[in-house]
Amino acid sequence: MLLVVKVGSSSVTTDDFGVNHLVMDDLIRQISRAIANGHKIVLVTSGAIALGLGRMSRTTRPSDIETLQVASSVGQGELFAYYAREFAKFKTTVGQILLSASDFMERRQYLSAKATLAKMLELGVLPIVNENDAIADDEIRLGDNDRIAALVAGLIGAERLILLTDQDGLYSADPRFSEDATLIEQVEEVSREVAEAAGGSGSNRGSGGMATKLMAARIAAWSSVETLITSSANSHAIADGLERRSGAGTWVSQSRKRLPARKLWIAFARPTEGVVFIDDGARKAITERNSSLLSVGILSFEGEFEDGSVVEVRDSSNAIIAKGEARLASKELASAIAMRGSLGVDSSPLFLHRDEMVILF
């Protein structure tokens, strides 16, 4: 079986920005055992920034991008050295892959990354993937390794994705604050309600949280990949994922529809450069009738963007509906909105074509 495993900073590191040996040594053993049994695995890991901060004697995570990039450059070598040393104990050879948003946005780089990962797996090398935080532009970085793991799972055609976290899975309420919270063992579809109930980040060492894991599971589902969200402290997490054991955490099913790679790029790899707000008629047209979005259905917009930029679509209540590649620049859209009252549907300029738009909810 071809499997992608993602482990986050809250599992890789301790509160004082050191390696969490209790969790990580066991995970390395689990992965090595699965590889020895003939399975192919890609490991997506966070933790470089946290380890770098520890090496730099920082006690809290800074907010400025420059310091985070320096911390990443310091910690990335230390993180990979740890993996190389510990996996070698099990005779597992590892290789480092640092990805950026452009590797998913540009077709040539996309195909190159796909070929490299495939060759590594063919040669028995365990790819260890992380975002290239040290040089990533904050405007175009992917921002969380949960999303990278899901995109990688689709890139290589993995069968399953395991997202390791500091909780046992998705709960009906935050188990840190609610005694009545119960584990949700199966999610058929990541609806708006499910996503909103997930909350935010639970750690100051990383950028993720349950919400990002559910969004990653949704990306994977659209790539025909099933996802298990489970605890990094689970000593059988890899076997649970390989054998699809119930009760191991939260399973998120594959979607009945598969999105082509181009739509996945638009929805999850390309930066958003503007927001448009649409009326109820336009919302029904694009969500219920699979129509393109005409400018006559747009009430207003925010930001400055060009023809070909990716924009977010929200309804009149500010709920996100879709993302797509604009056919009009913001200046052209402003002119079309100004004429909205005098334009009929037949003469309204096209803003988002349905083949270049992804309905998110």
Q: Is pLDDT of 281 > 90?
A: yes
Residues, the chain: 361
On the question of pLDDT at 183 being above 80, the answer is yes
Output phi, psi for 125, to 5 deg: -95, 135
Q: Name which of 269, 161, 176, 263 is nearest 214 in CA terms.
A: 161
Answer whether residue 314 is part of any domain: yes
C-alpha–C-alpha distance, residues 82 and 34, integer Å: 20
Q: Which of 42-51, 65-74, 95-104, 202-211 has the lowest mean pLDDT?
A: 202-211
Band of pLDDT at residue 201, cut at 50, 70 and 90: very low
Judge if 247 and 283 occupy the same domain.
no
Query: Is residue 266 assigned to a domain?
Result: no
Question: Does one domain contain both 156 and 244?
Answer: yes
Same domain, 341 and 192: no
Under the banding of pLDDT at 50, 70 and 90, the label for residue 341 is: low
Same domain, 301 and 251: no
Q: Give residue 241's pLDDT.
A: 96
d(CA 5, CA 163): 6
Q: Which residue has the higher pLDDT, 203 or 15?
A: 15
Average pLDDT over residues 94-112: 85
Q: Is residue 308 part of a domain?
A: yes
Measured on CA atoms in the order 250, 256, 259, 260, is the torsion positive or negative?
positive
Answer for the pair 296, 276: CB distance below 8 angstroms, yes or no.
no
Joined together, the tokens standing for residue 201 give 């980040």
Cα–Cα distance between 94 and 67 in angstroms, integer? 28
* Rounded Cα distance, 166 and 170, in Å: 11
Closest CA to 8 of 159, 134, 144: 144
pLDDT in tens, 115-164: 999 999 999 999 999 988 666 555 445 557 898 999 999 999 999 999 99
18 and 76 co-located in one domain = yes
Higher pLDDT, 68 or 139: 68
Is the model more confident about 78 or about 265? 78
| Residues 203 and 277 both lie in one domain | no
Both 61 and 183 in a single domain?
A: yes
Residues 177 and 284 in one domain: no
Query: What is the percentage of the chain residues whose pLDDT exceeds 70?
Result: 92
Q: What is the CATH number of the domain that holds 350?
A: 2.30.130.10
Residue 189 maps to a domain: yes
Neighbouring CB atoms inside 10 A of 114's CB total 16
Side-chain-side CA neighbours of residue 118 (13 Å): 10
Q: How far apart are CA 333 and CA 171, in angstroms?
A: 43
**Cβ atoms 274, 302 nearer than 8 A:** yes
pLDDT level of residue 204 (50, 70, 90 thresholds): very low
Domain boundary, last residue among 231, 259, 287 = 259
Identify the domain containing residue 52 by its residue range: 2-259
Pick the most confident of 105-114, 137-146, 340-349.
Answer: 105-114
CATH of the domain at 184: 3.40.1160.10
Report the number of distinct structural domains present in the chain.
2
Note whether 284 and 210 are same-domain residues. no
* Structural element, H or E, at residue 252: strand 250-252
Evaluate whether residue 15 is within a structural domain. Answer: yes
172: pLDDT strictly greater than 60: yes
What three-state secondary structure class fits 211? helix
Model pLDDT, residue 142: 55
* C-beta atoms surrounding 197 within 10 Å: 17
DSSP string, 140-200: T----HHHHHHHHHHHHT-SEEEEEESSSS-BSS-TTT-TT--B--EES---HHHHHHT-S
Tell me if 265 is assigned to some domain: no
Mean pLDDT across 79-83: 96
pLDDT value at 70 more than 70: yes
Return the top range by mean pLDDT from 228-242, 261-275, 328-342.
Answer: 228-242
d(CA 19, CA 54): 10
Residue where a domain stops, chosen among 259, 293, 311: 259
pLDDT over threshold 70, residue 246: yes
Establish if 315 belongs to a structural domain.
yes
Shared domain for 217 and 297, answered yes or no, is no
In DSSP terms, 99 is beta-bridged to 131
**Cα–Cα distance, 241 to 33 (Å, whole number):** 13
Looking at the structure, do residues 224 and 331 belong to the same domain, yes or no?
A: no
> Does the structure show a pLDDT above 60 at 71?
yes
- Integer-rounded Cα radius of gyration of the chain: 21
Q: If you average pLDDT over every residue of the chain, what do you get?
A: 88
259, 294, 316: which is the final residue of a domain? Answer: 259
Q: Tell me the two tokens of residue 60.
A: 């809290």
Q: Do residues 98 and 48 lie in contact, with contact meaning Cβ atoms separated by under 8 Å? A: no
Together in a domain, 102 and 69: yes
Q: Distance (Å, rounded) from C-alpha 203 to C-alpha 199?
A: 12
In a domain, 264, yes or no: no
